[in-house]
Structure formats: C-alpha cells, structure tokens
Amino acid sequence: MDSKTPQGERIAKVIARAGHASRREAERMIAAGRVAVNGKVIERAALNVTGKDRITIDGRPIDAPEPPRMWLYHKPPGRVTTARDEQGRATIFDDLPEEMPRVMSVGRLDLNSEGLLLLTNDGAIKRRLELPATGWVRRYRVRVKGRPDDATFEPLRKGLVVDGVRFQPMTVTLDRQQGANAWVTVAIREGKNREIRRAMEAVGLVVNRLIRVSYGPFQLGQLKPGAVEEIRPRLLRDQLGLAPEAEKPPGRKKPARRRRARRG
C-alpha cells in the first residue's frame, strides 16, 4: 500500500487563501460543481493541489494565494461581528476600507462590546488563534453596576458553572469604584458566548460596558474606535511562528501600509 502523503494543500484551503471564500464556502462551491482543476470539474474537496495546478471557479482562474496577514480593529459598540445580519444591523465589515482584502474575524465581540478585534485573511490562522489550546489571554476592562468588593469575584477566580456551561477560572482585579459603578480588569483564555457578562450576572453584577484591550501579545493601545491597522509582517511572523516564506512569497508586492477605516 502506498503510504506517501499527497503533495500540496487541500483545494478548499487554497481557495480560501486566495480570498474567494471561507474553507466551508469553498467546499460548498466544489459540491455544486463550480470548481475545476486543470479543466476538469471536481466533485469532492478531498483533493490536494500544488502551484502547478490551474484552478478555476465558474470558469475564472483564481489568483495566487495571498500571504497571511492580520489587522487590529477597534470595534465600536453597536456593530455585529458577522458579514451579514438578518436584522439589517451595521456590521464591522461596513467600516473597513474598500481596498482591504476579504478578511475574517478571530473570535467575536457581541453587539454592545467594544475594543480589540483581530482580522485575518487566513482561515488557518483564525482557527488556530480561536482554540483554547493556543493559550492566549484575552484581557478586558469591564464596568459593572454595583459596589463589589474583592471577595465578590472569588467564584469567578475558582471557575463556575452557569446554565450548565463550565467557565474556566478567570483572573479578576477590582480597580476602582466610580459612583454607582465599579471598573474591573478581567483576563480569560477561552471566550465562550457572553462569558464575562454571564459570569458577572452569576455573582449579582450587571455589565454596562466591556472593552477588550488585548488578545495575546496584540494590544488595543491608542487605536481609535472604527480604525484598523495592519500588523507588520515581521511581528506577525514572530508571534505566530510563521516561516519566512509565508511572510512574503517571491514576486508578490509588499503588504500595504497601515490604513484607517472610513467613519460612517
């Protein structure tokens, strides 16, 4: 039996890297008979291709895959973190410059949350950074209604179960009382749906402002609400352990300099 691993990459991944669709969307395109390799329509996504193969979607050749890139984005409150919203609400993608490539968010922030959101053109990077096993800490500044003391947060530090969902231990620091509200710094490593809001409710507090200030080594810093800034390729390579070739393939132009989003 031939045990050799097929050369190249899965075709759905190549299509996603070229910016045409997510990997799942690419798999649906293949199932619909829209994708051909070397002139032959393929029926299954379980196919490896190399740079020598000619791939077309609806008869049009795809471009060469872009190098992995990532951006910092300061999400304002009132934006949803989806490409489309059934209720017609504004999305984060409405803010982005038209010249930016197709990007995906690394994780989400809910409608009323704000602060740092990472954007990437690479599905593999997105999935890697969303895994709890990656171990990157997400840090938040949280304003709660009430007058908690340090002991209030002990259940969060030990880990708790809310509506059958287990939340891992959080790092929680009471910063200051400001009138009827208190400011708290919270650090988590997972990020389940509305985790911090639900955990605070479990100890009798209501979150009325939540700002993500960092995601792993990447900081919100002085980035203004609605603004987007590209992470320098060398920094991205160093933090993610990417090979130098992945930073800038031969013959491709350098990534664009940082851009600011249009405000609407």
Is residue 168 within 8 A of residue 159, CB to CB? The reply is yes
Give the DSSP letter of residue 113. -
Query: Would you state the structure tokens that stand for residue 77, as one six-digit string?
Result: 């409150």
Query: Would you state the structure tokens that stand for residue 262, as one six-digit string?
Result: 């249009």
Class of residue 158 by CB neighbours under 10 A (exposed 0-12, middle 13-18, buried 19+):
exposed
What whole-number distance in Å separates Cα of residue 21 and Cα of residue 29? 9
Active site residue 110: yes
N-terminal to C-terminal alpha carbon distance within the chain:
60
Beta strands in the chain (DSSP E): 9-10, 35-37, 40-41, 48-49, 55-57, 60-61, 70-75, 104-106, 114-120, 138-145, 160-162, 165-167, 171-178, 181-188, 206-215, 218-219, 228-230
Q: Which of 2, 58, 95, 110 is catalytic?
A: 110
What whole-number distance in Å separates Cα of residue 186 and Cα of residue 161? 17
What whole-number distance in Å separates Cα of residue 70 and Cα of residue 218? 11
Residue with tokens 């759905």: 12
Diameter of the chain measured on Cα atoms: 73
Catalytic residues: 110
